[in-house]
């Protein structure tokens, strides 16, 4: 319990903390329910600086799904499927949407008596004084998404010892809450949050197959060559969309460098004359891994395409948000093949001995992760262009070749 004491008399500015302990006689001591006051001093620009999430009104998301497809058995046991598959939704939950970012003031349009725009007075130009410019997050239901895809499959049913399936998907998945929360650039403009989701794979091709080898023989040789089968899966897909961000941007609205998308952040600023086509460097991924020790080694991104965010504050420091969008470039793609060989040997009438050899990433093909690390990754999928490691790839998305063997007795 908190008591205010000075010379035996209550005093508002001097607080003494008196711990109140529990006992067997009083295991649950009474404590008054206190609500801290929300306040802000427009002269000193100091306030309660509350930081709190809240729920608005609960809504049930509305999701619509639709598809149209055809099937054609163009050869016996070979089927072609082509389909349009789509889905869209509204009232999708928007987690921790910032609704208190600062507005721009001017002598003709003062905000709470403030006529200038600086990083220091951002908390005085907010709709709700007493909360910081990044400190009032609404768990609302104002998100939307839209998914459209072309899906094609060629399939052969298992017969005569073999089967296979080849599937291709061309898709586009858009949302304004794909990157954790709609707090990129201007949280009040949900349209600026709309873009490719970070889990999209625009082009994806998968082939799987199984084949029982038709070797026949008698006696001991038959035990050796019969019962073999092979199977595998090959995957080829594009990389995931990336949003490039700059922690120096948006300080005129946020009052400080953002630490995560959930608190508000700014996208990167392209230099004059640069376009999205200038962001990625040229060549194969192996030639664009970059180097932490040697900045001259080509990186996945072209750092010279970006400039510092525009300064628009009256203090010459506060910056605007960047001019790039959401999910504007794709990370490294993936091409991987897994393969297995199985030998089934019958022992007696009821027993079988199974040998299995599995090869993951059998061709030992290097497949790289997105150019990010703990130092460059902003929560939600953004990459900081103003980090020294920007564009450096430090890890792979798939392990090198992995081989494992198994022997199993069934009885």
Expressed in angstroms, the distance from the first to the final Cα of the chain is 71
Quick check: 69 and 83 in contact, CB under 8 A? Answer: yes
* Structure token pair of residue 396: 């792979």
Determine the pLDDT at residue 380: 43
Number of Cβ within a 10 Å radius of residue 202: 17
pLDDT attached to residue 247:
87
User: Which DSSP string do the residues of 104-173 spell out, in sequence order?
Assistant: P-BTTB-BTTB-S--STTGGGSSSSTTEEEEEEEEEEEEEEEEEEEEEEEEEEEEETTEEEEEEEEEEEE
Rounded to 5 degrees, φ, ψ at 323 are -105, 10
User: Do 234 and 206 touch, CB atoms closer than 8 A?
Assistant: yes
pLDDT at 86: 98
Residue-level pLDDT at 382: 57
Residues facing 15 on adjacent strands: 4
Question: What does the pLDDT read at residue 163?
Answer: 94
CA distance 15 to 172: 59
Buried b (16+ CB within 10 A) or exposed e, 15-25: eeeeeeeeeee
Q: In whole angstroms, what is the distance from residue 170 CA to residue 98 CA? A: 34
pTM assigned to the model: 0.82
Q: Which two tokens stand for residue 297?
A: 């080694």
Those residues with Cβ within 8 angstroms of residue 24's Cβ, 6 or more apart along the chain or in another chain? none
What one-character-per-residue DSSP string does 52-110 give?
Answer: EEEE------EEEEEEEEEEEEEETTEEEEEEEEEEEEEEEEEEEEE--PPPP-BTTB-
Closest Cα partner for 276 from 329, 202, 320, 321?
Answer: 329
Query: How many whole angstroms separate alpha carbon 345 and alpha carbon 68?
Result: 46
Per-residue pLDDT of the chain (411 residues; tens, 9 = 90+): 333 333 333 323 333 334 455 566 666 666 566 678 899 999 999 999 998 888 878 889 999 999 999 999 999 999 999 999 999 999 999 888 899 999 999 999 999 999 999 999 999 999 999 999 988 999 889 899 999 999 999 999 888 889 999 999 999 999 999 876 788 888 888 888 899 999 999 999 999 999 999 888 777 787 788 889 999 999 999 999 999 999 899 999 988 755 555 678 899 999 999 999 999 999 999 999 998 888 889 999 999 999 999 999 999 999 999 999 999 999 999 999 999 999 988 887 788 889 999 999 999 999 999 997 444 444 444 588 888 889 999 899 999 999 999 999 888
| Predicted local distance difference test score (pLDDT) of residue 29 | 61
């Amino acid at each position: 319990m908190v008591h205010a004491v000075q010379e035996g008399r209550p005093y508002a500015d001097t607080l003494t903390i008196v711990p109140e302990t529990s006992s067997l006689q009083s295991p649950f001591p009474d404590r008054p329910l206190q609500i801290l006051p929300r306040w802000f001093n427009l002269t000193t620009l100091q306030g309660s600086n509350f930081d709190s999430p809240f729920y608005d009104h609960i809504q049930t998301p509305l999701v619509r799904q639709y598809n149209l497809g055809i099937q054609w058995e163009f050869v016996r046991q070979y089927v072609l499927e082509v389909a349009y598959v789509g889905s869209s939704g509204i009232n999708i939950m928007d987690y921790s949407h910032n609704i208190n970012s600062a507005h721009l003031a001017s002598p003709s349009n003062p905000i709470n008596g403030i006529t200038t725009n600086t990083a220091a007075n951002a908390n005085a130009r907010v709709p709700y004084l007493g909360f910081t410019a990044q400190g009032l997050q609404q768990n609302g239901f104002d998100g939307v998404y839209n998914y459209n895809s072309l899906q094609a499959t060629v399939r052969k049913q298992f017969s005569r010892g073999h089967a296979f399936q080849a599937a291709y998907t061309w898709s586009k998945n858009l949302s304004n809450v794909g990157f954790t929360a709609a707090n990129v650039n201007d949280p009040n403009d949900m349209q600026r949050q709309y873009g490719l989701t970070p889990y999209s794979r625009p082009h994806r091709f998968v082939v799987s197959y199984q084949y029982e080898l038709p070797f026949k023989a008698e006696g001991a040789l038959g035990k050796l060559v019969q019962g073999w089968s092979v199977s595998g899966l090959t995957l080829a897909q594009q990389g995931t969309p990336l949003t490039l961000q700059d922690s120096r941007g948006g300080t005129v609205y946020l009052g400080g460098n953002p630490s995560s998308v959930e608190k508000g952040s700014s996208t990167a600023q392209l230099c004059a004359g640069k376009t999205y086509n200038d962001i990625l460097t040229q060549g194969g991924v192996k030639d664009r891994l970059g180097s932490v020790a040697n900045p001259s080694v080509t990186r996945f991104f072209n750092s010279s395409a970006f400039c510092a965010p525009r300064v628009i504050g009256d203090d010459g420091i506060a910056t605007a948000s960047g001019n790039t969008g959401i999910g504007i470039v794709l990370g490294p793609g993936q091409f991987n093949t897994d393969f297995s060989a199985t030998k089934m040997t019958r022992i007696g009438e009821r027993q079988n001995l199974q040998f299995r050899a599995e090869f993951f990433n059998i061709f030992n093909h290097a497949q790289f992760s997105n150019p990010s690390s703990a130092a460059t990754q902003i929560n939600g999928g953004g990459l900081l262009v103003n980090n020294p490691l920007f564009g450096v790839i430090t890890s792979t998305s798939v392990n090198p070749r992995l081989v494992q063997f198994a022997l199993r007795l069934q009885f």
